[in-house]
Amino acid sequence: MMEMAMRPRRLRYGNSLRKMVRETRMDKSSLIYPAFVMEGENRQEEITSMEGQYRYTVDRLMYKMEELLDAGVDKVMLFGIPGHKDECGSDAFDENGIVQKGFRAIKERFPEMYCIGDVCMCEYTSHGHCGILNGKDVDNDKTIEYLAKIALSQVEAGADMVAPSDMMDGRVRAIRQLLDANGHETVPIMSYAVKYASAFYGPFREAAGSAPSFGDRKSYQMDYHNRREGIKEALLDVEEGADIIMVKPAMAFGDVIHELKQTLQVPIAAYNVSGEYCMVKAAARSGFVDETAIMCEIAASTFRAGADIYLTYFAQELAKCMDEGRIG
């Protein structure tokens, strides 16, 4: 037998020991489920591009909230599918807008559910861009006035946190100032500070009906070649009042998540987006991968990179795997 003082395999024998020395740990409190709410009654539509995901009317959304809570997932982010769209996305800040109705219903039925509002305009504008247009360009400074109004309307409807996803310059400061001026200084902001112009968003745009009617979003979402730009965006948003910084997408940007974790003193969130979800589903459906195993491995890699919070359509399934000891 070879004489070796250090045998790394010693700590790999048996599941109990492996879990005890695990470097990356996660639990259900870190999971956020993104949900789609639409106008109407008693309807639940499967999203063609996202197998197993649905658009819910407010009444049917309550059944999903109950499922999530039963699984131990107590945080949800709402995306609205409005019945009306116009150039200024007025349904996004209407007190009777679809997301506002969703928040009020959740808080009335399930007050323990922590509600997060996605603050953007692309689902609500007739042109599908994330702000107010000036010709063919999004007017940054005009848009942030509307984003602040959207955030305030969501909080007044029951949102516990707001998450601006538009990537306009200065929107965190505008939102923070308006919330504070209206007595909501304790409501946190989770900024999509590091949001890349990514092909991984394709299925979501079908799900939310938010594809731009012309051009693309590369003038406001970031070039995926850039890492330092993401750090700059995050630092600016923290300075403006962001309490949590999000990286989106998650899977392809572990290096950015890791560097932000080393640089910032705020929690880091990562969004496991629709394209990542669909790739796992498609590969599993073809028999090429074990869906549950690869779902857990991708989640663990995101936390290993430095994420503290994980937004994912697999939240309910991951919670079950945590209960079973497969991940966590």
Which residues have a catalytic role annotated? 195, 248
> Could you tell me whether strands 54-57 and 44-46 are parallel, antiparallel, or unpaired per DSSP bridges?
antiparallel
- Left if phi > 0, otherwise alpha if psi is -120 to 50, otherwise beta: which for 183? left
- Left if phi > 0, otherwise alpha if psi is -120 to 50, otherwise beta: which for 201? alpha
Token pair 């009335």 is found at: 108
Q: Residue 187 is encoded by which pair of tokens?
A: 């409501």
Residues 166 and 142 sit within 8 Å (Cβ to Cβ) = no
Task: Please spell the DSSP secondary structure of 127-193, one letter per residue.
Answer: T--SS-EETTEE-HHHHHHHHHHHHHHHHHHT-SEEEE-S--TTHHHHHHHHHHHTT-TT--BEEEE
- CA gyration radius, the chain: 20
At residue 325, what is the residue type? G
Token pair 């899977």 is found at: 251
What burial class does residue 6 get, using C-beta atoms within 10 Å of its C-beta: 0-12 exposed, 13-18 middle, 19+ buried? Answer: exposed
3-state secondary structure of 268: strand
Q: Give the H or E element holding residue 93.
A: none
